[in-house]
Amino acid sequence: MHGMTWAALKVILSTPHLRELKISRGMLLCARLSVADVEDMRTTDSLAPLSNLIYEVDSSEVPDSFPAEMQVLTAILPKLAESLTVLLLPGTRAPLHIISGTQWPNLREFALRSKHWNLTVPPRPYASLIAQMPNLRSLTLELTPPASNNEDVFLVAALLPPLVMVSWPYRTEDRLRTSSQMLHILLKCATSVHNLTSLHVEYEMDDEEIALLSHIASAFPHMIELQIHRIRPLATDASANTNTNTVTASMVGECLAPLAQLRTLRVHMKFDDVPNRHPARRGWMYFRRDELWDFVQGTLKEAATMLARSLAPSVESVALLDPESSWRRFLVRDESSGSRTERKVTYDDAYYLQQSLPNQLIFY
């Protein structure tokens, strides 16, 4: 690993027209400082008005932070706070006391990332880190802390309308949280995120799934966008129920029906009649285009129709994940025939959102 000298960093930061600085790919901010460097750093004020500061260090390769890194960030962050709109830092190297005690009038995106979060109890509550960020719109805390009872994350969630509850970092040997565990988490933060408008959850289905979905519908009445990755345990015998697809879609739709402002629903479900993979060269497996298309126009469209008919009139689209991890979106419309109005769905050819998911999530 290589680190810049303070002299080199000072030249870069003093470039008048510089607006974005990104340090990554094994380059450390500063590995060591001399006494003269520390004094010069303290008195240097002529820094460029950076808008983006991105510092990325893979903590799996460099697990330990250097004191010089913290000293440099402690010195320069307050001087850049007025102009910064994006700040991304490694969690183990960020001066949390400086971040929480500094005014960030224009900061809109803030992220702390660390695969090895060594602090059982942070020196400042997580929520206090963003107390001085009045214009913050995106907060990312990708931290893997030791097991603890720290509940500051629920206070943080209250300050931002979108909430993503997914596993990080992904490890295929780890099991997902169950419906019961996800319900326990959301029950704790329900009162603080009452105004939530966007939610993304993933979980392994268990006996509490209906309770979880019903809680989401009742606890977050302002929900506009909802994405659900619901995974069956490998031991589930789906063949016991010949109406699995319809029952599953109906159940999800009925549970979420109270969401009167919902516009977009994306759901990942396992279906029993997914087309078979076919062998190709070099051991690759693939889905035939015609069979996959029949699955989309048959099974997925039927499930989307069942969902749309159960959901609130506000719903504009329903998307389902296909076996290739692509979202297939169906537009919802009401079709009148005489005095009768029927809700139908139309496949959206123009919409194609590819989402790369770990193999752990796809059990087709």
- Give the residue from 120, 153, 186 where a domain finishes: 153
- Residues 4, 81, single domain; the answer is yes
- Tell me the pLDDT tens digit for each residue of 238-285: 444 444 344 478 889 999 999 999 999 999 888 888 898 888 877 788
Sign of CA dihedral 147, 149, 155, 157: positive
- Give the residue from 123, 153, 183 where a domain finishes: 153
pLDDT, residue 246, reads: 41
Residue 175 belongs to domain spanning: 161-364
Tokens of 223: 């929900």
- Measuring CA to CA, which residue among 140, 136, 139 is closest to residue 168? 140
- Residues 303, 320, single domain; the answer is yes
Tokens of 203: 């979980």
pLDDT, residue 122, reads: 55
Strand partners, 57: none
- Residues 176, 296, single domain; the answer is yes
- Give the residue from 110, 125, 153 where a domain finishes: 153
- Residues 182, 328, single domain; the answer is yes
For residue 308, give Cα distances in angstroms to 181, 253, 341. Answer: 28, 7, 13
- Residues 243, 219, single domain; the answer is yes
Question: Distance (Å, rounded) from C-alpha 156 to C-alpha 101?
Answer: 16
pLDDT, residue 362, reads: 38
Contacts of 54 (CB under 8 A, 6+ apart): 20, 21, 22, 23, 24, 86, 88
pTM for this one?
0.59
Give the three-state DSSP class for 148: coil
- Residues 24, 105, single domain; the answer is yes
- Tell me the pLDDT tens digit for each residue of 163-186: 777 765 554 545 678 899 999 888
Tokens of 294: 């029949």
Strand partners, 353: 327
Residue type, 177: R
pLDDT, residue 58, reads: 62
For the chain, which residues score pLDDT lower than 50?
1, 63, 120-121, 147-150, 171, 173, 236-247, 354-364
- Residues 241, 346, single domain; the answer is yes
- Residues 184, 300, single domain; the answer is yes
- Residues 172, 203, single domain; the answer is yes
Contacts of 302 (CB under 8 A, 6+ apart): 245, 246, 249
Residue 86 exposed, middle or buried by CB count within 10 Å (0-12, 13-18, 19+): middle
pLDDT, residue 121, reads: 46
- Residues 197, 344, single domain; the answer is yes
- Residues 121, 238, single domain; the answer is no
pLDDT, residue 211, reads: 94
Can you list the alpha helix ranges (DSSP code H) found in 6-116?
A: 6-13, 35-43, 67-80, 96-100
pLDDT, residue 359, reads: 38
- Measuring CA to CA, which residue among 246, 288, 285 is closest to residue 269? 246
Domains held by the chain: number: 2
Can you list the alpha helix ranges (DSSP code H) found in the chain?
A: 6-13, 35-43, 67-80, 96-100, 126-129, 152-157, 179-189, 209-219, 244-256, 289-295, 301-310
pLDDT, residue 241, reads: 43
- Residues 214, 124, single domain; the answer is no
